Amino acid sequence: MDWVSWDNTLKAGHAKMDADHNRLAELFNLLADAVEKGKGRDCYDSLLDDIIQHAQTHFGLEEQLMAEHHYPKLKQHKAEHAMLISQARNYRAAFDVGDMVPPVAVAHFPEVWLVFHILFSDKPLADFLARTA
């Protein structure tokens, strides 16, 4: 089962950003597979840690690019990154304490977390970077 189908719709148009986004999609799909197969908390924890770590590294790259190119929405975009990391950590913490995460929340987490961010924040950033490069 794939939660995130990587296709041209999700390509922002910046090679490094797209490679990072693709890797995040792969990690979310590994998590989907683990949940579907009931692989257990250790597996979920590890995958969520990988998602958070990869996202933090990716967000660092984006924030560096935004600063270097004087992106006018830098503060807004950085705040969104902070919110996304906070959401991921809260999601991870719910697994840690054994809270039952509703299946709907599980299914929509990557969609909201990754897909919306790419479509509504990263694509405009990539377009800006292409114009200023």
Query: Which uninterrupted H or E stretch holds 44?
Result: helix 41-68
Q: How confident is the model at residue 54 (pLDDT cuts 50, 70, 90)?
A: very high
Higher pLDDT pick, 126 / 41 = 126
Q: How confident is the model at residue 111 (pLDDT cuts 50, 70, 90)?
A: confident
Mean pLDDT computed over every residue of the chain:
87
Cα–Cα distances in angstroms (integers) from residue 3 to residues 12, 24, 26, 35, 62, in the given order: 19, 11, 9, 11, 24
Phi and psi of 92, rounded to 5°? -60, -45
At 55-108, the pLDDT tens digits run: 999 999 999 999 999 999 999 999 999 999 998 888 788 766 665 555 445 556
pTM: 0.88
Angle at 36 between CA 32 and CA 38, to 5 degrees: 115
